[in-house]
Amino acid sequence: MGRALQKKLGRGALLISQDYVRREMLRVRDRPGNQAVSLLENLVLYSCRNCDFTILEGILYADIYESLLKTVEEAFSDNIFAYYFDLPFDVVS
C-alpha cells in the first residue's frame, strides 16, 4: 500500500518502511529498545524537513515505537493521516 501511495504522490514523497529498516537494514528483532526506532525517528525528521510527503508504514506497536510516534506527532502536528487496515488473510494473499 505504501509503495502505491508513493507512486501516486510522485516525486518528493519518501516511503519509510518499518519492516525494511528493521529487517533488511539493521536485522534486529521487533523488541523494545531496538536500533530501528532511532533510525526511523531520524528518517522521519529528515523527511519532514526535506520532502513534500512522508509515508511511514509498518506495524508500530505503542510499547516499542512510542518515541517514534511522539516524534511524528511533534514534527507533523495536525498534518497527520493515519490508516489502519484489518483484512483477513484470504483478501491479501
How many residues in the chain?
Answer: 93
- pLDDT tens digits for range 15-35: 999 999 999 999 999 999 999
Greatest Cα pair distance, the chain, in angstroms, is 39
Q: Please check whether residue 12 is in contact with residue 53, taking contact to mean a CB–CB distance below 8 angstroms.
A: yes
Closest CA to 69 of 40, 48, 30, 35: 40
Per DSSP bridges, beta strands 53-57 and 13-17 are parallel
Closest CA to 42 of 16, 60, 19, 64: 16
- The pLDDT of residue 1 is 82
User: Is the pLDDT higher at 84 or at 59?
Assistant: 59
Domain boundaries, the chain: 2-78
- pLDDT tens digits for range 64-80: 999 999 999 999 998 99
Is pLDDT of 93 > 70?
A: no
Is pLDDT of 47 > 90?
A: yes
Average pLDDT over the chain, rounded to an integer? 93
All cell numbers assigned to 21: 529498516
